[in-house]
Copies of this chain bind each other. A is one copy, B any other.
Amino acid sequence: MSTVVSGVSERLHAARRAARQIGLLSDERKAAVLARIADEIVAASEDIVAANSVDLERGDADGIAAGLRDRLLLNRDRIVALADAVRSVAALPDPVGRVIDERFLPSGVRLQKVSVPFGVVASIYEARPNVTVDITALALRSGNAVALRGGSAALETNAALVRAMRSALESEGVDPDGIQTVDDFGREGARALMRARGLVDVLVPRGSAQLIETVVTESTVPVIETGAGVVHIVLDESAPLDWARDIVVNAKVQRPSVCNAVETVLVVRAAAERLIPAVAGALVEAGATVHGDAEVQRLVPDAVPAVDADWGTEHMSLDLSMRVVDDLDEALAHIRRYSTMHTESIITADDGNAERFLAEVDAAVVMANASTRFTDGGEFGFGAEVGISTQKLHARGPMGLPELTSTKWLARGAGQTRA
């Protein structure tokens, strides 16, 4: 066993020991631990900002991109906002101990299926120090220990945050080993985390499509895939113009860099002349660039030609692909081919088309006449979001605290044996 593998294994064993204590904490104790974490982060804000400066300087020397630098940056205000987010997770209901099923066997044994913590939740993510705090708060609130691997660009910042949070656990009489980082082990540490079968109960990757692909492919521990959104909106022949225009603009322009933003609009041929000029016009006016097929280019002077790669691309920008399809069948076939099964929406006044779309499209969230931007834990009323699962196992769509729990069956008998 390499030094790194044994080092990671040692920390995960420590996390498992701590998880036993954390898993049995009462609702009140868990809320108190989170409140203390919020306080300690704010109290340590000078240290954290200093550590962050080291990361920023290294990033500047390496020629870090502006967007990445902004995500990396922590200042006093952002630290206060992070602490507030932790307090709001503290205020959420305890997801542990819910009785999900209850039944009596004919022999009289009483069965209950109850929600329990996973044990050790791990996360591999990129240089966003807020995820370090965010995922720790969510994991602890649901009774789990946490093992973190953040991007190396945020190494010092993450270390300072972890120090503050571990000290909060100690102040609350909770084993600080409940929060572990393997950042100091580099890439080899990330790999050891992905292969720590029996020590990591679930691993949640957060970041680019490439990061997620690597984690899914290399892991032998259970993974919840969160993910990229190549999100479509279909406009059928009955789509009201105002709904079509308002929803497409909202879904593209409001926040183009997030996974629930629309990437491709498919317009049924019979509606092309009526809808495309107005919808594309509103997009262009809002600053978007429309990548259109030949038909769209004919109707939209500002459109640039769409290339094959556009249809599978999550632009993360104000770019949008637009295509004319013969009918709903062709729209559904296009979605099957290019969808990442995140969110798909149809704009239609035809209930039959709406219900067919809802039934036939295979995605985490399927909508009729609503903006794809609604796919979000906060919007769904979960109070917090662990990520948006694009897989079908365990969790699908926005994940809240309950998705960080597993279940176990409790059986209470009085000496029964099987006949």
Closest Cβ neighbor of A332 among chain B residues:
B20
A103, A347, A368, A415 interface centre (most CB from chain B within 10 Å): A415
With A103-B380, A254-B418, A373-B418 in contact, do A397 and B393 touch (Cβ < 8 Å)?
A: no
A275 to B243, CA, bound (A): 75
Q: Across the interface, which residues of B come within 8 angstroms of A414, CB to CB?
A: 243, 369
Query: A227-241, CB under 8 A of B: which get 1 and which 0?
Result: 000000000000010
Would you call B392 and A119 a contact (CB within 8 A)? yes
- Chain A window 387-419, contacts with chain B (Cβ cutoff 8 Å), 1 for yes, 0 for no: 000011110110000000011111111111110
Cα–Cα, bound, A216→B223 (Å) = 12
User: Which residues 292-338 of A sit at the B interface, judged by CB distance below 8 A?
Assistant: none
Name the contact of A408 in the complex, choosing from B363, B370, B394 (C-beta under 8 A): B363
Residues of B within 8 A of A48 (CB): none
Are B411 and A366 in touch, CB under 8 angstroms? yes
Q: How far is the CB of A20 from chain B (nearest CB, A)?
A: 7
User: Complex: how many Å from CA A407 to CA B397?
Assistant: 9
Interface residues of A in 364-394 (CB under 8 A from B): 364-371, 373-375, 379-381, 391-394
| B residues in contact with A202, CB < 8 Å | 392-393
Question: Which of B105, B220, B362 contacts A381 (CB under 8 A)?
Answer: B105
A417–B373 touching, CB < 8 Å: yes
Q: Does A24 contact B (CB under 8 A)?
A: yes
Q: Are A408 and B103 in contact (CB under 8 A)?
A: no
Secondary structure at the A interface, as helix, strand, loop or mixed, is mixed
Residues of B close to A250: CB separation below 8 A: 417-418
Are B391 and A222 in contact (CB-based, < 8 A)? yes
Q: Is the beta-carbon distance between A415 and B369 smaller than 8 angstroms?
A: yes
The interface bits of chain A over 80-111 (1 if a CB of B lies within 8 angstroms of the residue's CB, else 0) are 00000000000000000000000101010101
Instruction: List, in ascending order, chain B residues with CB within 8 A of A109's CB.
Output: 367, 370, 374
- Asked whether A409 lies within 8 Å of B364 as measured between CB atoms, the reply is yes
| Cα distance, A191 to B393, chains bound together (Å) | 21
Partner of A413, one of B111, B370, B394, B409: B370
Mask of A103-129 contacts with B, CB within 8 angstroms, 1/0: 101010101010010110000000000
In A141-196, the 8 Å CB interface with B consists of none
Min Cβ gap A384→B in Å is 16
Knowing A216-B220, A370-B109, the reply to whether A243 touches B410 (Cβ < 8 A) is: no
Residues of B contacting A20 with CB < 8 Å? 360
Residues of B within 8 Å of A393, CB to CB, are 202, 222, 224, 393-394, 406
Inter-chain CA distance A40–B257, complex, in Å, is 54
From residue A198, how far is it (CB to closest CB) to chain B in Å? 9
Residues of A within 8 A of B (CB): 20, 24, 103, 105, 107, 109, 111, 113, 116, 118-119, 197, 201-202, 216-217, 220, 222, 224, 240, 242-243, 246-247, 249-251, 254, 345, 347, 354, 358-360, 362-371, 373-375, 379-381, 391-394, 396-397, 406-418
Sample (13) of A-B pairs whose CB atoms are under 8 Å apart: A202-B392, A216-B220, A243-B414, A243-B415, A249-B417, A347-B415, A364-B408, A367-B413, A369-B416, A370-B413, A396-B406, A397-B407, A397-B408
